[in-house]
Chain A
Amino acid sequence: MSNFIPYNITQKYATSVAYFSMEFAIHQALKLYGGGLGFLAGSHMRSAYDLGQNMIGVGILWSYGYYDQTRDKDRNLKVEFRRKKYYFLKDLELCVDVVINSKTLKVKPFLLQSEIFNTAPIILISTDIEDNDYLSKTITHKLYDADEETIIAQEIVLGIGGAKVLEALHIKPKIHHINEGHALPLVFELYKKCKTFDALQQKIVFTTHTPEAAGNEEHSTALLHKMGFFAGLSID
């Protein structure tokens, strides 16, 4: 991780941590958030920098962000999806393969360097690249897509894609912090490399944000399995 962290790490924050989040609200110029979950992650990444913590963020580079909120001719709300371009992100010049719905696609990481906005470094992954077909590209188009299967695919990209990108970059965090349940497929990917369930648990901490039973995301187990959410592990 030290390759990506240009600041001095404070001794009491030496444990290496990868922080997985669907949203990051870092700066007006980087539109990767819908609301409070992102504001929280953004402030966390700023404080990680301020305190010298051995932390790296992992998120998704949303091609269209959440949406642009404007007005129509009668001044009512208008939702616009406008492609974003970010010339300040660093191309990490590698791709990893992720299997979604029995199809192999490419996931590519970019880096928000620590110095740009004074945050922990953040790896932002995208499927919206030349090597993928159109359907695969759309997975990282819109934060919280309206389609259930696209949302599941987004979670697989963040969790499994994120884990594989870290591995390809030779980053081995001691702790994986999953900020809300979206990145859960990460757990199944990591389990393949753990000897025991206990060894897996030692690597995972989880923050829940939803106080309403109905607000907690649920899907058909069979659908998740078919999509590859469990990283190819058997259902039980």
Chain B
Amino acid sequence: MGNKGDIFNLTIGALKAAKISNGVSLLHAKVANKMWSHVQNRSEIIHITNAQNRRYWADKGVLRALDEHEDYEVEARKKHLKRVLFDEVANQTGKMFDPNILTIVWARRFAEYKRPGLLKYDLKKFLELVENQEMPVQIIWAGKPYPFDNGAINIFNEINYISNNLKNVAVLVGYELSLSMMLKKGADIWLNTPRITKEASGTSGMSAAMNGAVNLSTLDGWHPEFEKHGINCFTITATDPTLPIEEQDSIDNANLMNILSTEIIPLYYENSKKWVNIMKNSMLDTINAFDSDRMAHEYYANMYDKDS
């Protein structure tokens, strides 16, 4: 079934055994159909884009403020949620963050293709970013590397080492549901940096967006289905995925730093009205479309109850 000579591939086996299969974003289903085009007698691969449970993930205070069109309360609630997160930052690292400062979070599984270190790829530029006094930023990293992947553990420790000398950069441990919740609620910018076509969907940005964290992401996974640059999020322009990875990383880093310094940071400090609008749009464009109620419905309608 998944048989290719003496090697058995679980995905091929499952594609053949199922009446119907799915990829977890529009882009991923395309990639998967192409990747498995050589497999005979396999099921059709449709797409059902991943989602997250709004009732569990979205902060009720910020949802209510959104519902009442009360922009001041959206802002105030976000500042409160930042302060709650910053208590945890201080508890773990001894660093006291300020709720008035733009806060960038990179938090998810520490896998190489997700590029946890993309932000500091050009160390000189990174230090300029974090040492800017006029328009300051705070940065938080968190996430578990696979416990037997020394490469990923080294990236974690390297970022942690860099953060030792920076009072506005924190690396947190214990990335589980509680910390993930705190980070999504307390982030201004939710940074997502997978190499294009490597991330099937990614869902952390959905639950972050439900809490008014603004996504800044490469054009991969679920992001193309959501993004309106400058309206509900920010997008790092797509880089040719066939380039050598060093080149991709270098180009993506330059684009990322450029968006931060020319668009995001000035906007946050100079146009709070527009910033709140982007926050609200990011919530409005996720609370239904990327709520797992939509997804759980689609699995019934398009897979379980589908005749084949």
Is A209 engaged at the interface, CB distance under 8 Å to the other chain?
yes
Residue of B9, B13, B156, B174 with most partner-chain A CB within 10 A: B13
The size of the chain A interface, using a CB distance under 8 A, is 67
Q: How far is the CB of A52 from chain B (nearest CB, A)?
A: 10
In whole angstroms, what is the CA distance A35 to B23 when docked?
A: 18
Q: How far is the CB of A209 from chain B (nearest CB, A)?
A: 5
In whole angstroms, what is the CA distance A68 to B174 when docked?
A: 7
Q: Known contacts A43-B53, A212-B198; is A70 also within 8 Å of B177 by CB? A: no
Tell me what chain A mostly uses at the interface: helix, strand, loop, or mixed: mixed
In whole angstroms, what is the CA distance A182 to B11 when docked?
A: 9
Query: Which residues of chain B are within 8 angstroms of A235 by Cβ–Cβ distance?
Result: 3
Structural contact, B19 and A202, CB atoms closer than 8 A: yes
In whole angstroms, what is the CA distance A204 to B156 when docked?
A: 39
Query: Which residues of chain A are within 8 angstroms of B71 by Cβ–Cβ distance?
Result: none
Interface residues of chain A, those whose CB is within 8 Å of chain B, are 12-13, 15, 17, 25, 27-28, 31, 34-36, 39-40, 42-44, 46-48, 50-51, 53, 66-71, 75-77, 79, 144, 146, 155, 174-175, 177-178, 181-182, 184, 187, 200-213, 216-222, 224, 235-236
In whole angstroms, what is the CA distance A212 to B12 when docked?
A: 13
Interface 9-residue window, one of B141-149, B244-252, B270-278:
B141-149
Query: Which residues of chain B are within 8 angstroms of A207 by Cβ–Cβ distance?
Result: 21-24, 48
Within 8 Å by CB of A210, from B11, B145, B202, lies B11
Interface residues of B in 254-295 (CB under 8 A from A): 291-293, 295
Tell me what chain B mostly uses at the interface: helix, strand, loop, or mixed: mixed
In whole angstroms, what is the CA distance A115 to B20 when docked?
A: 31
Query: Which residues of chain B are within 8 angstroms of A205 by Cβ–Cβ distance?
Result: 18-22, 299, 303-304
Q: How far is the CB of B169 from chain A (nearest CB, A)?
A: 13
Interface residues of chain B, those whose CB is within 8 Å of chain A, are 2-3, 5-15, 17-24, 28, 31-32, 35, 43, 45, 48, 50-53, 55-57, 108-109, 111, 113, 144-148, 153, 156-157, 160, 164, 173-178, 180, 197-204, 207, 291-293, 295-297, 299-300, 303-305, 308
Query: Which residues of chain B are within 8 angstroms of A17 by Cβ–Cβ distance?
Result: 304
Within 8 Å by CB of B109, from A34, A46, A71, lies A34
Within 8 Å by CB of A39, from B17, B147, B178, B203, lies B203
Q: Known contacts A77-B156, A220-B8; is A28 also within 8 Å of B22 by CB? A: no
Residue of A39, A46, A68, A177 with most partner-chain B CB within 10 A: A39
